[in-house]
């Protein structure tokens, strides 16, 4: 199973982690801790989880785990932040590529929105088994304002891109519209993840979210 290495922002990781993963071996240890935690929570829930279980599942002593995290709560916090950072980085990479293209207007509106939706679905609800379990854990353990902030950043970055490329069919939203769109998107992704919605990986689910965004982003172009 391929796992993206952990690279938490310095100002955040310094608050959560006892030891920074500066070497490859340390990175792999953190990856193993995250994967083991996700697998246990996915199968047994949060209540019965202990640092001893995590260490045993990861294949090393609990003392090694404590070199990096002081408690299971610290692990949860780091996992949540790591997961959200992965999504934001992928989104940034995509939008930056659009902004740097020779003629961004050549990208169809639906194609642009669909790729954005795919990043959101993979990052907040789906992903491979490890990431999918981590996403559920994030939704379960994050404070509501943390979840809202993550989605808000996604929508704000989308709006900044639209203002920059000035696509003829996609209109940036005002503050109220952005609030409604971000919370609607967050509600769908959160529910799909926590409820293990059977069709969240289907074209139908993706199409519905594309329609949701398109209805907001192009409505100002509708005839009066």
| CATH class of residue range 10-66 | mainly alpha
Distance CA 180, CA 186 (A): 10
* 220 secondary structure, DSSP code: G
Place of tokens 């639906």: 110
Tokens of residue 53, six digits: 């279980």
| Cα first-last separation, the chain | 53
Tokens of residue 110, six digits: 């639906």
Place of tokens 């990043």: 119
pLDDT at 35: 86
Long-range contact list for 141-144, CB < 8 A, 24+ apart?
A: 141/46, 141/76, 141/77, 141/80, 142/80
Tell me the whole-structure pTM to 2 decimals: 0.75
> CA dihedral in degrees (30, 135, 150, 141; nearest 10)?
-80
pLDDT at 96: 92
Query: Is the model's pLDDT at 180 over the cut of 50?
Result: yes
pLDDT at 9: 45
- Tell me: the pLDDT tens digits for 134-175? 777 778 777 777 777 888 888 899 999 998 888 888 888 888
pLDDT bucket at 75, cuts 50 / 70 / 90: confident
What is the number of residues in the chain?
224
**CB 206 within 8 Å of CB 121:** yes
> Which of 29-33, 96-100, 143-147 is the least confident region?
143-147
Q: Which residues contact 142 (CB under 8 A, 6 or more apart)?
A: 80
- The CB density around residue 26, as the number of other CB atoms within 10 Å, is 15
Distance CA 114, CA 112 (A): 6
């Amino acid at each position: 199973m391929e796992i993206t290495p952990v690279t938490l922002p310095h100002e955040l990781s310094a608050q959560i982690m006892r030891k920074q993963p500066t070497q490859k071996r340390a990175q792999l240890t953190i990856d193993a801790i995250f994967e083991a935690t996700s697998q246990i929570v996915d199968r047994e829930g949060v209540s019965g989880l202990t640092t001893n279980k995590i260490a045993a599942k990861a294949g090393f002593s609990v003392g090694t785990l404590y070199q990096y995290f002081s408690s299971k709560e610290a692990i949860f916090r780091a996992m949540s932040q790591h997961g959200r950072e992965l999504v934001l980085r992928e989104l940034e990479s995509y939008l930056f590529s659009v902004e740097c293209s020779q003629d961004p207007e050549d990208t169809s509106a639906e194609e642009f929105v669909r790729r954005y939706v795919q990043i959101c679905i993979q990052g907040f609800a789906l992903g491979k088994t490890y990431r999918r379990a981590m996403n559920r854990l994030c939704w379960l353990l994050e404070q509501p304002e943390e979840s809202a902030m993550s989605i808000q950043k996604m929508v704000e970055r989308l709006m900044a891109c639209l203002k920059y490329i000035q696509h003829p069919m996609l209109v940036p939203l005002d503050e109220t519209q952005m609030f409604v769109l971000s919370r609607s998107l967050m509600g769908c992704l959160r529910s799909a993840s926590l409820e293990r919605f059977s069709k969240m990986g289907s074209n139908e689910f993706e199409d519905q979210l594309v329609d949701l965004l398109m209805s907001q982003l192009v409505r100002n172009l509708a005839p009066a």
